[in-house]
Amino acid sequence: MMTTLNWTKFPLIGNHLSLDFVNTKIAENGKPRDLLERPADAAAWAIAVKLLDRTRAKKLAKIWQEAGNREEFEEMLRFRKVLHALVEAMRSGESVKAPTLNAINERLRTLNGYAEVLPSDEGFTKRFVLEIHTPNQLLAPVAEAAADLLCYGNPAYVKKCENPSCVLYFYDGTKNHSRRWCSMKACGNRTKVAAFYQRQRQQAK
C-alpha cells in the first residue's frame, strides 16, 4: 500500500533546525495540533528540512508504517518535549537543566553517517551523509543543531511569535533583531488587521 507523505504541512519558520523540530507541534483554531501523528510523518518532516531526499524518505516511510516503529517514533516526541524545555529556558533566561543536556548528549552519541566528495561548480565539495534507518535516528542531527543553538546562539534572539494564540518559535536573524511574528503572511497580518478594526471601532464610538 502506498504511503502518502505531506512535507508541505510543516511551518519552516524557525530559522534553525532544532526550532523547526519543536514547531512540529502547532496551534490551529486555538487548539493544539501535532503534525507528527505517525512514523511516516517523521519521514515527511525529514524531506521538508532536507535531511532526506524524497526517494529515500518514501522508502523509509513505507517501512516505518508497516513495521510499526512506534517506540522509536515515541522517542522522537519525547525528545521534542526536551527541546521545547530548552527553548523556553533560553528565551526566558533560565538555566538549562542537566536532564536536558544529558538527553542532547545521548542523541549526539548516535550520529551515524559518512563523508563523500561530489563535483560542484567551484570544483568539489564534501558533504556528510546521514545513516537513517529508524525514525529516532533523525534526532542526532536535530540534537547537533540544538547543541549549536545552545553553544553559539544568542538566547536573546530565540523568540516566540507575539500572537498569543501562536506557539511557534524562531531564531531572529534579522539585521535589527526586531522580528515579532512567526510569519508576516500569517500572524503578522492577522494582528495588524485586528488592530486596525479595533481602532475603527474606537473611533466610531
The pLDDT value recorded for residue 186 is: 72
Report the pLDDT averaged over residues 121-141. Answer: 90
* Residue 76 domain-assigned (yes or no): yes
Task: Report yes or no on 161 lying in a domain.
Answer: yes
Q: Which amino acid is at 76?
A: M
pTM assigned to the model: 0.86
Count the Cβ atoms, other than its own, within 10 Å of residue 26. Answer: 17
Q: How confident is the model at residue 188 (pLDDT cuts 50, 70, 90)?
A: low
With CA atoms as reference, report the closest residue to 100 among 87, 114, 119.
Answer: 87
Segment 87-105, tens digit of pLDDT: 999 999 999 999 999 999 9
Give the chain's mean pLDDT: 89
Give me 177's grid cell: 533583531
Q: Report which of 92, 80, 98 is spatially closest to residue 32, judged by C-alpha positions.
A: 80
Look up the domain containing 173 and give its range: 17-204
- Structural domain count, the chain: 1
Average pLDDT score over residue span 70-95: 94
In a domain, 196, yes or no: yes
